[in-house]
């Protein structure tokens, strides 16, 4: 991002093979190689560098989780509005459009695959926008529901238990860990 490095500089660091210096042929996160690529330019210890990466990723992950949960709340409100007779379609369409903006921003940061490390400021800006659009979407969907005479809950049940122990490994979902996840494995 501002460092002026190419992908290979960090993800395929130089190594010695005999008397030759070549790029590694293993594309991987510097976290998996004791920060070897980082220490080629930075003089801090590998642990200090790792701590900086984790700090950045934790901050971005917190915003990612908040924006994702807000988008999920908006989606549930829209789902209820879709099932409601007499709902104001203009408000519902506005809610859908705002939700789409939120969804794509949250999904983009998740798909980018660095949890914000490649460009922390931009990741936080995009997620902040996603959170804003999700909140606006939820407000429009709530307004449409209230106008249709629906008692709207403060929080929608995201039905997270439906997704517990899914997949071939049956990994359990622990909602109490949602906002406190860290990449260093301490939580």
Give residue for tokens 């007499």: 86
The CB-side HSE value for 136 (13 A sphere, CA atoms) comes to 16
Clarify whether residues 30 and 52 are in a common domain. Answer: no
Measured at the CA of 32, the angle between CA 28 and CA 38, to 5 degrees, comes to: 80
**Residue 115, pLDDT score:** 93
Domain count, the chain: 2
Same domain, 72 and 124: yes
Same domain, yes or no: 78 and 137: yes
110 in a structural domain: yes
Same-domain pairing of 26 and 52:
no
What one-character-per-residue DSSP string does 91-156 give? HHHHHHHHHHHHHHHHHHHHHHSSTTTTSHHHHHHHHHHHHHHHHHHHHHHHHHHHHTT----SS-
What is the model's pLDDT at position 85?
Answer: 97
Tens of pLDDT, residues 147-162: 999 999 999 999 877 7
pLDDT in tens, 39-86: 989 999 999 999 999 999 999 999 999 999 999 999 999 999 999 999
pTM of the shown model: 0.82
Domain that holds residue 139: 46-152
């Amino acid at each position: 991002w501002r460092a002026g490095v190419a992908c290979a500089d960090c993800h395929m660091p130089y190594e010695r093979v005999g008397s030759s210096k070549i790029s590694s042929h293993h594309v991987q996160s510097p976290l998996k190689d004791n920060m070897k690529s980082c220490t080629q330019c930075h003089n801090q210890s590998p642990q200090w560098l790792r701590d900086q990466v984790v700090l950045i990723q934790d901050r971005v992950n917190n915003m990612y989780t908040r924006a994702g949960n807000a988008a999920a709340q908006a989606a549930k409100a829209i789902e209820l509005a879709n099932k409601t007779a007499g709902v104001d379609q203009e408000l519902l369409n506005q809610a859908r459009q705002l939700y789409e903006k939120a969804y794509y921003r949250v999904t983009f940061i998740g798909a980018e695959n660095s949890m914000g490390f490649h460009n922390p400021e931009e990741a936080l800006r995009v997620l902040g926008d996603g959170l804003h659009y999700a909140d606006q979407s939820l407000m429009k969907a709530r307004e449409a529901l209230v106008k249709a005479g629906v008692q709207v809950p403060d929080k929608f049940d995201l039905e997270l238990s439906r997704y517990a122990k899914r997949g071939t490994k049956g990994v359990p979902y622990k909602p109490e860990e949602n906002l406190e996840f860290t990449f260093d494995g301490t939580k």
